[in-house]
Structure 1
Amino acid sequence: MNILFYSRGFAPIGGIETLYKNLAVFLQSKGHHCSLLYWGAPNPLLRSIEAADVQIIRSFWQWGCRWNVPDWVMLPQGMKEVKKADIVVFGNAIPSKMLAPLRKSAGPHTKFVFITPYRPTPPQQAADRAEALQMLQLFDHVMVQAGAFEGDLREIGYKGAVNVLPYLTQEPAAVAPFPKNDVIQLGFLGRLVEDKNIPLLLQSFKVYRTLLQQQKTHLQLFGTGHLQAEMETLTDSLGLKEHVTFHGGINNEKVMDAVASCHLFAFSSNIEGQCLAALEILSCGRPIVATEAGAFPEILSDTRLGQLVPQANPEKFGAALYDVTQRILQKDITEQSVRESYNLRFSASKIALQYEALFKQISGESKAASGQKKSVVSKQ
């Protein structure tokens, strides 16, 4: 198969960007031809993709723009590239006025696949809902990460094919033991932006410290974003400056070491899809406490992986952090138990093969012995 990953802006760290890397590198290793079309500055994640012999096609534009100018500039190049592809993968919503010419330029064999970056919540305004539906109808398949997301698509009015499949993580290394010291290390991995609701995390951490009483704890934030300075100020005002470390952005190669340095992780998000960072953390044997945003209710339905917080306020969230910490201290949750529970549903090797089978099915290459298409992972 010829598979084109249509990226628009390619951030140096992000869930969709990391999914593109994991998926493109795997498919390229299986003998398929993968290419990535993007605009943006070079970064380590892109270099790791290129090192796997995935073709990199870059538009000259480097910076974002509120009027989508970089996307319009890249459009003619995109119209040229989609003609060569069997599958075109989109990881971000794209305006229908931009998607329509891409669709028109593609050959009759080319299939457009949209992997949702967030839960597709139905828009409130009629005009926004109409635009969302018009965009969705230009895709041949939409991929979501939790069963509940399909209901959102149907509510918008989308009647096309929907495939439920988790994000693909990289193959994890051996599980590292919990840190051997007397300080409980709480971690956060992600961007410091509004959707992640870092103020709730910081306020909950203060409650958590009170509940732990004599037990020492420290909050490690791995990631950067335009709210970092504001969150550092909030940390100071809450009296937490000595107990919180902002590490800034970290390279993809250092993620596993960052995860291993903590006992548990917290996600206080307002909006999510299926948080790829959360899956990577679980694969390393670390439990999670999270809000009900995105796919977290489905991920944490297995309580061996952590705890869900239905009511996202500091008291409830802080109490959940305390409960999971006690389960770690009592060895009810261990590094190996988290990894084993994770592997039952999210094993990278199994999920990778499901992606390949699904893409083959969509492109019409995969046939059952009877001559009919397989339908292992998709549903109409």
Structure 2
Amino acid sequence: MKVAFLNGVFARIGGIEEFTHDLVLELLRKDMAVRIVCASLKNPTLDRLKRAGAKVRKIPVYHGCRWNIPDYALLPFACFWLRGADVVIHQKPFAKWAYRILPQRAKHIYLTSYSPADQFPDIAGAKRVFSFFDGVVTQLESFKVELLERGVECPISVIPLIPPRIAELPVSQNESRILRIGMMGRLEPQKNPAYACDVMEALSQSLPEGKVSVEFHVYGEGSLSSSLKKKTGSLKCKTEFHGVYERSAVERIVSENDGFLITSNSEGQCIVALEILAAGRPVFATPVGALPAILTDPIRGALLPRENPGEAAKMIRTWFELNRLTSASDVQKSYQKNYDRDAVVAAYVDLLLGIGRSG
């Protein structure tokens, strides 16, 4: 079977990009032919997938993401590059007219990367877009309900994004008198990193002077990098910016910190949260997307208020006070109860085979 991914912009770092990487490798192991159609500059993830056997077709247009310029610039090329595919996986919506020029022989699946209510506030517009698809994949039952409320009539499957395996060896707890909190991902408005800085400053000011100090470690880059560096330069909390990181470095990054902040305004499954838990550290996050479902067990971290850095800092401090004896392996065991990678991969393979054969 031939499977194609219509990704739009393929970023150097991102949850959808990591999901695509993992699913492509699994499909290649099943002897499926895989093609990735995207807009991207030099990208190590795409290079790895090409070496593994996937065909990558891309245009070198990256700027203008806020207005979806790369996505629409890609469409004329996608018309040709998607030909011959049995199944096309879409990860970003277009205006309905755009779907008329895509290959009609293939089966088309839409993967919702965020809450459908966030992506499609206009119910009528959502119904027009989804009328094109042969199937939809979403990550939560609540997301499925939102899709049904928007009039989606095609089959809807509830499958989480592919979770990472737990680290082979639980990372050790830091024993110093420094509380290190990290943040990983793109520094963009959607991720609301300025609020993370405010939370860290409040946490730094709330701890007893001379007993425990706080450090904030930021991994990733984006359009807000410069403004954040300027903002943190005048704060009490020591902040270090580590720049872009490779996925292979995630376990090391997690091991160097005591916990992680995710202060997004909107999220989907949030692969970063799963990566952190799989490596044994707690997550402190705003209650958006799938994060409330991910953090159902208090041992995994806490949900923070969205506009109250003082209260958020208090909740983080309380978690560490109550969980002094919690080990990395305790966090990993809790995580693994709900995120079985092999079962999730099997669900995706079965779905694609079923839809592909139905044609």
Q: Shared fold (TM-score greater than 0.5)?
A: yes
Say yes or no: does 1:106 pair with 2:104.
Answer: yes
Shift of 1:172: 4.2
Q: Secondary structure at the match of 2:100?
A: helix
Partner letter of residue 16 of structure 1? I
Partner letter of residue 225 of structure 1? G
**How many Å separate the matches in 2 of 1:345 and 1:83?**
38
Say yes or no: does 1:266 pair with 2:272.
Answer: no
1:179-205 CA distances to partner (integer Å, 9 max, x unpaired)?
342211111111111111112211111
- Residue 378 (structure 1) aligns with: none
Q: 1:208 aligns with which of 187, 203, 209?
A: 203
User: Using a 3 Å threshold, how does the CA distance of structure 1 residues 62 and 196 change in structure 2: closer, same or farther?
Assistant: closer
Say yes or no: does 1:358 pair with 2:331.
Answer: no
Q: 1:177 aligns with which of 169, 172, 179?
A: 172
- Residue 160 (structure 1) aligns with: 154
Moved more, 152-161 or 35-44: 152-161
**How many Å separate the matches in 2 of 1:212 and 1:342?**
29
Q: 1:140 aligns with which of 131, 134, 144?
A: 134
Q: Secondary structure at the match of 1:237?
A: coil
Partner letter of residue 14 of structure 1? G
Q: Secondary structure at the match of 1:325?
A: helix
> Which runs of structure 2 are paired with 1:59-78 in the superposition (5 Å)?
59-64=59-64, 68-78=68-78
User: Using a 3 Å threshold, how does the CA distance of structure 1 residues 341 and 2 change in structure 2: closer, same or farther?
Assistant: same
1:280-337 CA distances to partner (integer Å, 9 max, x unpaired)?
11111111111111111111112221111255411221112112222342x1x22111
Q: 1:131 aligns with which of 122, 125, 144?
A: 125
- Residue 151 (structure 1) aligns with: 145
User: Using a 3 Å threshold, how does the CA distance of structure 1 residues 239 and 274 change in structure 2: closer, same or farther?
Assistant: same
Shift of 1:73: 4.0
1:45-104 CA distances to partner (integer Å, 9 max, x unpaired)?
1112112111112235454466655434432332234331221111122222212321xx
**How many Å separate the matches in 2 of 1:68 and 1:280?**
28
Q: Is the 8 A contact 1:122 1:152 kept in 2?
A: no
**How many Å separate the matches in 2 of 1:12 and 1:124?**
26
Q: Is the 8 A contact 1:122 1:129 kept in 2?
A: no
TM-score, L = length of structure 2? 0.92
- Residue 279 (structure 1) aligns with: 274
Say yes or no: does 1:308 pair with 2:303.
Answer: yes
* Structure 2 unaligned blocks of 5 or more: none
Q: 2:243 aligns with which of 239, 244, 248?
A: 248
Q: Is the 8 A contact 1:79 1:106 kept in 2?
A: no
> Which runs of structure 2 are paired with 1:190-229 in the superposition (5 Å)?
190-213=185-208, 214-229=211-226
Shift of 1:263: 1.1
**How many Å separate the matches in 1 of 2:141 and 2:120?**
22
TM-score, L = length of structure 1? 0.87
Q: Is the 8 A contact 1:118 1:273 kept in 2?
A: yes
Shift of 1:265: 0.8
**How many Å separate the matches in 1 of 2:356 and 2:155?**
13
- How many residues are matched? 355
Q: 1:334 aligns with which of 318, 327, 331?
A: 327
Residue identity (%) = 28
Q: Is the 8 A contact 1:167 1:276 kept in 2?
A: yes
**How many Å separate the matches in 2 of 1:30 and 1:349?**
14
- Residue 289 (structure 1) aligns with: 284
**How many Å separate the matches in 2 of 1:238 and 1:65?**
31
Shift of 1:17: 1.0
Q: Is the 8 A contact 2:204 2:236 kept in 1?
A: no
**How many Å separate the matches in 2 of 1:75 and 1:85?**
16
Moved more, 207-216 or 48-57: 207-216
Shift of 1:254: 1.4
Partner letter of residue 222 of structure 2? G
- Residue 55 (structure 2) aligns with: 55
1:120-144 CA distances to partner (integer Å, 9 max, x unpaired)?
216797xx44333211221112211
- Residue 46 (structure 2) aligns with: 46
Root-mean-square deviation (CA, aligned residues, Å) is: 2.1
- Residue 369 (structure 1) aligns with: none
Partner letter of residue 321 of structure 1? I
> Which runs of structure 2 are paired with 1:363-374 in the superposition (5 Å)?
363-364=356-357
Q: Is the 8 A contact 2:218 2:240 kept in 1?
A: yes
Shift of 1:344: 1.3
**How many Å separate the matches in 1 of 2:215 and 2:167?**
25
Q: Is the 8 A contact 1:287 1:306 kept in 2?
A: yes
* Structure 1 unaligned blocks of 5 or more: 366-380
Partner letter of residue 301 of structure 1? T
> Which runs of structure 2 are paired with 1:90-105 in the superposition (5 Å)?
90-102=90-102, 105=103
Q: Secondary structure at the match of 1:3?
A: strand
User: Using a 3 Å threshold, how does the CA distance of structure 1 residues 237 and 129 change in structure 2: closer, same or farther?
Assistant: farther
Q: Secondary structure at the match of 2:215?
A: strand
Partner letter of residue 34 of structure 1? V
**How many Å separate the matches in 1 of 2:307 and 2:142?**
20
- Residue 82 (structure 1) aligns with: 82
Q: Is the 8 A contact 2:205 2:236 kept in 1?
A: no
